[in-house]
Amino acid sequence: MGLITPDLGLLFWTSLVFVLLLVILTKFIWKPILTSVNAREQKISDALELAEKTKAEMHALQAANENLLKEARAERDAIVKDAKETAVKMVEDAKNAAKTEANKIVESARATINTEKTAAIAELKNQVAAISLEIAEKIIRGELSSDEKQKALAEKMAGDINLN
């Protein structure tokens, strides 16, 4: 039967073609294809790994950012608080200083007024004394304008001294 009898010619051609095909395909076709496919698979797995790593890094970064933000916020709060305190203190200080100054001014004004008053009073006293002296002089002159009057006065004065 021809169907199940191997044929020499066909065997020769088949082996020739198959071996040539094997060599050509291996060298020029399978090699570049497999190299590319392997490289791509490597690339994909690398990319996946990198993505995973980046994700973890992002998480860490996010946490760090959050911490940083928290710290910044706390710092800001502290600064604002400080500033407020300082402002209050400054206002207080200014108030105190103003008060002290005002008091000082009032005090010095008072002192000046007193001094002036005293001076005025002294002057008034002097003038009053001067006027009084003048008046007394005038009166005395009037009293002593005549001998009788001089005599009467001297007697009177002598009478006063005796009484003492």
Partner 1 sequence: MSLIFSAKRFFSFLVGILIFSTSFASEHGSEKKKEFNVGEMIMHHVSDAHEWHLWGGHHDAVSIYLPVILIDGGLKTFSSKHFYHGEHAVSMDKKTNGEVEYVKGVGPAAGYAMYHEEVYKLENGELSFEDGHVHGAVKPYDFSITKNVLSLFMGAILILLILSNVARFYKKNGPVAPRGLAKYLEVLIVMVRDDIAKANIGHKYQKYVPYLLTIFFFIFINNLLGLVPFLPGGANLTGNITVTLFLSVCTLLVTLVSANKNYWLHIFAMPGVPKPLLIIMIPIELVGILTKPFALMVRLFANMTAGHIIVLALISIIFINQNAAWGGLSVPMALFISVLELLVAFLQAFLFAMLSALFIGAAVEEAHH
Where does this chain bind partner 1 (CB under 8 A)? 2-15, 17-18, 20-22, 24-26, 28-37, 39-40, 42-43
When the beta carbons of 6 and 159 are compared against partner 1, the nearer one is 6
Residue 5 Cβ, how far from partner 1 at the closest point, in Å? 7
Which residue lies nearer to partner 1 by CB, 42 or 108?
42
Q: Provide the minimum distance between the beta carbon of 55 and partner 1 in the complex, in angstroms, as a whole number.
A: 23
Q: Closest CB to partner 1 among 9 and 159?
A: 9
Exposed e or buried b per residue across 17-38, where buried means at least 16 C-beta atoms within 10 angstroms of its C-beta: eeeeeeeeeeeeeeeeeeeeee
Backbone angles phi, psi at 5, to 5 degrees: -105, 120
Whole-Å CA distances, 49 to 42, 56, 93, 163: 10, 11, 64, 135
Q: Give min distance, CB of 48 to partner 1, in A.
A: 15
